[in-house]
Structure 1
């Protein structure tokens, strides 16, 4: 007798930069360029309590965001 288990997998098909709309190439479920991805759930003391915000930025838009910071990000090699 054979017993089967149904497996459901999710594979990334397409990534689009939320800021500029650029499509980042994806091959076999993997981005072929740098992508900054955020999945953040806001906490209790926020006006967005419990909301989950998710977005992707291409490397160019990420760089533009960084230069707007008063305090530079910490970068480790």
Structure 2
């Protein structure tokens, strides 16, 4: 879960919602990759119009997707 400073809006803390690990920041920039999920549930769910967001460290992401019946689509990209 990301925490921002109220006044400056600068990122001040990131904690993996799965394992609780605090990810390292340098000047408000994560030095580890984060899987950030943000979804707005629609009318046909039991979470109608709820917004859920969470952050995962890379290790927890790997553990979770390892259990998928259909793996995520992975493509290579180049930097812009």
Structure-1-length-normalised TM-score: 0.85
Counterparts in 2 of 1:29-68, with a 5 A limit? 29-68=28-67
Normalized per residue, the structure richer in strand is 2
- Unaligned runs of 5+ residues in structure 2 are 1-6
1:9 Cα shift?
Answer: 3.9
Q: CA RMSD in A?
A: 1.0
Largest Rg, 1 or 2: 1
Structure 1 runs (4+) deviating above 6 angstroms are none
Q: Unaligned stretches of 5+ in structure 1?
A: 1-7
Length, aligned pairs only: 70
TM-score (norm 2): 0.82
